[in-house]
Structure 1
Amino acid sequence: MTEQPHIVDSHCHLDFSDFDGELPDVIARARAAGVRRMVTICTRMDHEPRVRAIAEAYDGVFYAAGVHPMRAGEETPVTVDQLVALAAHPKFVGIGETGLDYHYSVDSLRAQQDSLRVHIAAAQHTGLPLIIHARAADDDMARILTEEHRAGAFSCVMHCFSSSPELARTALDLGFYLSMSGIAAFPRSSDLRDIFAQAPLDRILVETDSPYLAPPPHRGRRNEPAFTALTAKVGAEVFGLSLPEFAAATTANFDRLFTKAAA
């Protein structure tokens, strides 16, 4: 019997109420699908203790924390020191998610940009990768990332990448990674698949962003880490690889970027 490929869900939200009372089963299904590691992301600092507790409770589950850009105008601003202090935890592996979202939250533009720069400073200080959410803000995102990287290098993943070819090129030129979510598996996402196909294979990750963005045939229903395998199958087709080859490549990429969670 052929051993199942090892796949990593590099971005999920296991603390969300969608999974209440079901986490043991959700994680068991992920492992059965070959998803042996996952990073659960905290999007608001007052939820950090419960996200940390999930990571502590399950082997193969790691966590990251930050202030989501859609919350940047509502929450007390996080400080560099707060984020740096979290990095002492052995299962804390990344800074964020942070970023810019002008689609829903353009009124908080300045607060989002200030928050993004704080998170970047924490990534520079700790050496942990930055986890970026970008929506309808490509020009400002490219500018800020370039400015701050010039001031001090940091590593980064553009999570759930679905932005322009220009932002993809900027990110890749800075040495960053692009993460493929269920969006890339949607039938009408051929332009997005083309962006991924033109990127170096050694800069690609896979994720669910669960409970959101379930890939076919589960689109419109709750997403969960097990479905990373479905997105990975599409990714393998994009790169002309077998699923085991693509899984091995993206797992190696994850280990290179998220060094604290490396196998």
Structure 2
Amino acid sequence: MQSNRPRNWFKVNWLLYNYKLNYRPSKNLTHSLNLFALDAERSALGYRSNRVGQADPMFERDLIHGDFNNFGFEYKILSKKKMFKLRNAGLLGIKFYESNNKNEQGPGSDGIDANFNFQYEDFPNYTNQSSYNYPNMNFSFFGENVFYIDEKTSITPGFRFEYIDTRSNGSYSKMLFDGANNLIFDTLIYNQDRNTRNFTIFGLGISHKKSKKIELYGNISQNYRSVTFADMSIVNPAFIISPDLEDEKGATHQTLE
């Protein structure tokens, strides 16, 4: 794939695997298993220092290559039952996810073709050089239950426990040049970080059927957004990773008719 700049190219190979299995031993009990995996790579090649309207000096291009490998599974069990002669349904499940992603940045060629090979020997003094591994693991346990107050009204509480282990380890180059653009300092700086945490979030939904065509429902739930690999990577010695780095937390509520 080529961008609107003639020397910028993009390549992606994306293989996503998924297998689902449902087993229903009785009309009131259902088991569900979902297996998934990703084997992918992505490369971005181009000269991005100048704006599109500026002339391209035909310097070496920047090359960023990423490898993405992950796998996981999710298992759920759904049980339907009656309580006080009213229908109820409960769900419990677990999810496991593990990944080992890699990202490398360095000099590409100074040509115009789609050459996605790093050119370290030709451009050893290229300043944007880094290589990182991102191991990650996530385990969760969740559940919800639909309680029918009467034939028209139901309440659905739910919860989700999360354990997340996010890591990054790698290195980046620090180079200094004199006024004549001669290299006077060159070193490789190693960086390693790990962020483990666990928490539980909750939610609640309410539904009321006024008629066959009208249903009122509302819900409120806690949510979060995990820190990303970019949040835990340093490519400039002027930056540091905050020891107080946390996932984003919030809540949503919705009422519809």
Smaller-chain TM-score range? under 0.3
> How high is the TM-score relative to the length of structure 2?
0.21
> How high is the TM-score relative to the length of structure 1?
0.21
User: Max radius of gyration: which structure?
Assistant: 2
> Would you tell me which structure has more helix in proportion to its own residues?
1
Q: Which has the higher contact order (CA 8 A, sep 6+)?
A: 1
> Would you tell me which structure has more strand in proportion to its own residues?
2
